[in-house]
């Protein structure tokens, strides 16, 4: 089951219109662009999709639009710091036809490791859909331990993790502890993709793939085909852009980049604001170097 979740999987931005409504048609065009460039699956309603400021109705609308237009698996972001709400979103995603769901660790509440196990097992017992855990302590202030992840990997509905700590030692421990389970590790950080794949990760849930999906697909494919030199060449070519896409809080830079590249993007929702001029200038420099802009 977990093997369908591999390769390059863009964490899609949610484009908004000038009056702050979800740009559904623009969103569909962005999905078609990503699929045409070889991505393996897509993630709507993640961190990069500004899920935190989508209303419940918008959240479901974006998921529905993704499933409607996508010819690759849809992994819907359905996480919440409210377990009941995460179950509601996950049930909706399953009913809509999503292939899986991505569930961030509960933020703000700061649950214990036992609380994390109870949260995820409750969702996995309530909704029959493959689940990918999402560990990003820089966003949530909660770090899911490798032992907790290994315990959760025993559940038949929990099939993988998006690991966004960038900690190679921890990734090694997770992969070791889950080796006997039907469970995959995906990078949650573009720049860590190649190092993590060398340890056994099977792909990336990617920010940069909103604008250069083809390059990320080429890098991952090169590695999988045993051409490490080519994979490293692309990694180093993209690394400065990967870095500048986090010069301010994600998804500010990637949304600006997407708009500059002609994709549907629109404004950020408060409390996020447009990039500072110096950040935008640095972003444009790297977009030109990678051929996104002339």
User: Among all residues, which ones are annotated catalytic?
Assistant: 134, 162
Residue 182: count other Cβ atoms within 10 Å of its Cβ. 14
Helix/strand/coil for 133:
strand
Q: Which two tokens stand for residue 220?
A: 């991952």
Which helix (H) or strand (E) element contains residue 29?
Answer: helix 24-36
Alpha helices in 161-206 (DSSP H): 168-177, 193-199
Which helix (H) or strand (E) element contains residue 89?
Answer: helix 83-96
Helix/strand/coil for 184:
strand
CA distances from 253 to 185, 228, 257 (A): 26, 29, 6
Distance of CA 53 to the CA centre of its chain: 17
Peptide bond into 271 cis (omega under 30): yes
Number of H helices, E strands in the chain: 12, 7
In whole angstroms, give the CA distance from residue 66 to residue 166: 28
Residues 251 and 13: beta-carbon distance below 8 Å? yes
Residues 233 and 264: beta-carbon distance below 8 Å? no
Helix/strand/coil for 273:
coil
Residue 137 phi/psi, 5-degree rounding, is -60, -25
């Amino acid at each position: 089951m977990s093997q369908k979740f591999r390769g390059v999987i863009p964490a899609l931005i949610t484009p908004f219109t000038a009056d702050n409504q979800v740009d559904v048609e623009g969103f569909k065009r962005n999905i078609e662009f990503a699929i045409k460039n070889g991505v393996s699956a897509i993630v709507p309603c993640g961190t990069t999709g500004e899920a935190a400021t989508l209303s419940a109705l918008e959240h479901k609308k974006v998921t529905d639009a993704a499933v409607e237009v996508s010819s690759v698996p849809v992994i819907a972001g359905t996480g919440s710091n409210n377990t009941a709400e995460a179950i509601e979103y996950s049930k909706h995603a399953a009913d809509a036809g999503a292939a899986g769901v991505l569930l961030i660790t509960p933020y703000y509440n700061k649950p214990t490791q036992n609380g994390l196990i109870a949260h995820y097992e409750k969702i996995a017992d309530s909704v029959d859909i493959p689940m990918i855990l999402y560990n990003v302590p820089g966003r949530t202030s909660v770090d899911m331990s490798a032992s907790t992840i290994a315990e959760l990997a025993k559940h038949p509905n929990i099939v993988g993790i998006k690991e966004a700590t960038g900690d190679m030692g921890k990734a090694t421990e997770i992969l070791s502890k889950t080796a006997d389970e039907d469970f995959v590790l995906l990078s949650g950080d573009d720049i860590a993709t190649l190092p993590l794949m060398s340890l056994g990760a099977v792909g990336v849930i990617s920010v940069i793939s909103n604008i250069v999906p083809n390059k990320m697909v080429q890098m991952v494919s090169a590695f999988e085909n045993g051409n490490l030199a080519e994979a490293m060449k692309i990694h180093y070519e993209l690394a400065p852009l990967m870095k500048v896409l986090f010069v301010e809080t994600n998804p500010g830079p990637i949304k600006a980049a997407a708009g500059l590249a002609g994709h549907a993007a629109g404004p950020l929702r408060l409390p996020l604001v447009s990039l500072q001029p110096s950040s935008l200038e640095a972003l444009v420099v790297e977009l030109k170097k990678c051929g996104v802009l002339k």
